[in-house]
Amino acid sequence: MADWREIEGFLFASGGSLSEDAIARHLGTTTLEVRVLLSELEAKLEGHGITLSWHDGQVSLTTAPDLGAYLANRLPAAPGEISAAALEALALIAYRQPVSRAEIDEVRGVRSERTVQTLLELGLIEVVGRSQGVGRAPLYGTTAEFLRRFNLASLADLPEVAQAEPEEEAL
């Protein structure tokens, strides 16, 4: 029988997210046992600097959410830091997906070709389909890496966006 320490070590060594099924296969145990051990590990990590995070059916070790701002101000910028333009495009994609680059350009008012390419390279978005229009433009959506990086279990965890009130016509 595996113990929670094996799962902790396996998650740490993997450096990414894994499904419960994958953990069970690698450790030679059942998914049910993995769930029990993950609960045990989560309890052991309570109050520590790391925590378990679930994203799109996968689990990983991440920095405790309450330390995010503290560490962001003390650590050097990580490779792949997201610019304000990329963050703006990423928010559009997250809330409106699937969305074409032309739609992103229209909302932002600037060309987003390089920004979209950067988000693809960072693994935060992916092509999720093709439009039905002329040219069959790629449609973009967010990835599990997006969920992991922003500590979201699913897209349902995105904050509500306040809708602007339509301006009244001048008399």
As a whole number of angstroms, the distance between CA 20 and CA 110 comes to 42
DSSP assigned state of 125: E
63 and 19 in a single domain? The answer is yes
Please provide the average confidence, as pLDDT, over all residues in the chain. 85
Q: What is the pTM of this model?
A: 0.56
- One-letter identity of residue 169: E
- Can you give the residue range of the structural domain that contains 34? 4-69
Specify if 137 maps to a domain: yes
Mean pLDDT of 133-143: 90
Q: Is residue 131 part of a domain?
A: yes
Residues 62 and 89 in one domain: no
Tokens matching residue 101 = 């680059």
> Could you read off the pLDDT of 144-166 as tens digits, one per residue?
889 888 888 888 888 887 665 55
CATH code, 94: 1.10.10.10
Cα 19 from Cα 34, distance rounded (Å): 10
Q: Is the residue at 169 inside a domain?
A: no
Domain boundary among 45, 69, 93: 69
Residue 138 in contact with residue 144, Cβ under 8 Å? Answer: no
pLDDT tens for 45-76 read 999 989 898 887 889 888 888 887 777 667 65
My answer on whether 88 and 148 are in the same domain is yes
50: helix, strand or coil: strand
